[in-house]
């Protein structure tokens, strides 16, 4: 029988873990995740977890030590005999490597799924996977959460007139159509080409964006090249206010410089990845209550899908 909920955190996103614990009305579990002088990672749970329902919160964004921390924490927990271990991965890194799209490359997302399983996780809780098919890479139960519940409430309360939702690529049409319906907006699609990794070019705009206020939704913003190129193209073709939104603000390299110099008026993001930069253009929405409610329902054996109905 399940014991008490215990929430532990690695170093990748401790603030989000604290907010999740606060939502559940419990203290964040006591654990140590340290490094030896040579960089080797050492983990210890400083409290008894035998028979407890353990949730380990750790995003697997860069650096790679975040992933290694998660695996070592899972192994340490497994050896302490809890009732169940759930890997709570707000941002599942390596998700873009989900298929063999050219010769002699790794399907890294599948490799990471295997590692998490073998390390000791009994189930996985994550949010807005880059590809829904990644759920099938796991041989253990996976619960997939959506940040849309936060974004739709936020944008509905903004009362934006003459609104058009723009999909940044063909792959994002389903998500953009969902937001267009929720926000009572029109829909447009950008057709883009990728001449090289992390580079994109907009070739066509499908739909009417002239004199419209725009919101572009995406799951990840990494180098911000796609996002800012799209914003520049939309502005040149008559768009008015341009807002961008993403679940996972990876924001690598000079991405913030690109965003600051773009016609994007606001970038709305969630806190699945902690931000290392500050900008007046960035608005952060916390998804702690979404994860907290999902954890509560997993513990109680209740439906999670009903959260999004």
Residues assigned a catalytic role: 192
| DSSP string computed for 7-53 | EEE-SS-HHHHHHHHHHHT-PPP-EEEEE-TTS-EEEEE-S--TT-E
Pairing of strands 186-196, 199-206: antiparallel
Q: Identify the helix (H) or strand (E) that includes residue 219.
A: strand 213-221
Q: How far apart are CA 258 and CA 28, in angstroms?
A: 37
Tokens coding 69: 């921390």
The DSSP secondary-structure symbol of 125 reads E
Q: How far apart are CA 144 and CA 147, in angstroms?
A: 10
CA atoms within 13 A on the CB side of 121: 28
167 Cβ neighbours under 8 A, 6+ residues apart: 173, 175, 176, 177, 187, 188, 189, 190, 216, 217
The CA-atom distances, in angstroms, between 150 and each of 14, 158, 281 are 20, 13, 18
Degrees to nearest 5, angle at CA 54 with 50 and 57: 145
Tokens coding 250: 């990876």
Helix (H, G, I), strand (E, B) or coil at 202: strand
Helix (H, G, I), strand (E, B) or coil at 301: coil
Degrees to nearest 5, angle at CA 153 with 152 and 159: 90
Tokens 């990672």 correspond to 41
């Amino acid at each position: 029988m399940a014991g008490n909920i215990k929430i532990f955190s690695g170093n990748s996103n401790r603030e989000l873990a604290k907010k999740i614990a606060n939502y559940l009305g419990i203290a964040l579990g006591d654990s140590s995740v340290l490094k030896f002088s040579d960089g080797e990672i050492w983990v210890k749970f400083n409290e008894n977890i035998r028979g407890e329902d353990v949730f380990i919160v750790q995003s697997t964004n860069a650096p790679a030590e975040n992933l290694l921390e998660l695996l070592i924490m899972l192994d340490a927990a497994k050896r302490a005999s809890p009732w169940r271990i759930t890997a709570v991965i707000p941002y599942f890194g390596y998700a873009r490597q989900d298929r063999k799209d050219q010769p002699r490359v790794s399907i890294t997302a599948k490799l990471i799924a295997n590692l998490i399983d073998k390390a000791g996780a009994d189930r996985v809780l994550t949010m807005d996977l880059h590809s829904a098919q990644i759920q099938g890479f796991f041989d253990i139960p996976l619960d997939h959460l959506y940040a849309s519940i936060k974004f739709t409430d936020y944008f509905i309360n903004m009362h934006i007139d003459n609104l058009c939702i723009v999909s940044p690529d063909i792959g994002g049409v389903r998500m953009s159509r969902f937001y267009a319906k929720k926000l009572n907006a029109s829909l447009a699609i950008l057709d883009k080409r990728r001449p090289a990794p992390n580079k994109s070019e907009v070739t066509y705009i499908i739909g009417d964006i002239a004199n419209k206020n725009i919101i572009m939704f995406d799951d990840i913003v990494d180098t911000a090249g796609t996002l800012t190129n799209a914003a520049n193209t939309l502005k040149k073709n008559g768009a008015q206010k341009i807002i961008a939104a993403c679940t996972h603000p990876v924001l690598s390299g000079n991405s913030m410089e690109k965003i600051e110099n773009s016609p994007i008026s606001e970038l709305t993001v969630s806190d699945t990845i902690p931000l290392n930069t500050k900008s007046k253009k960035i608005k952060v929405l916390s998804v702690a209550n979404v994860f907290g409610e999902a954890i509560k329902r997993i513990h109680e054996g209740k439906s999670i899908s009903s959260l999004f109905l």
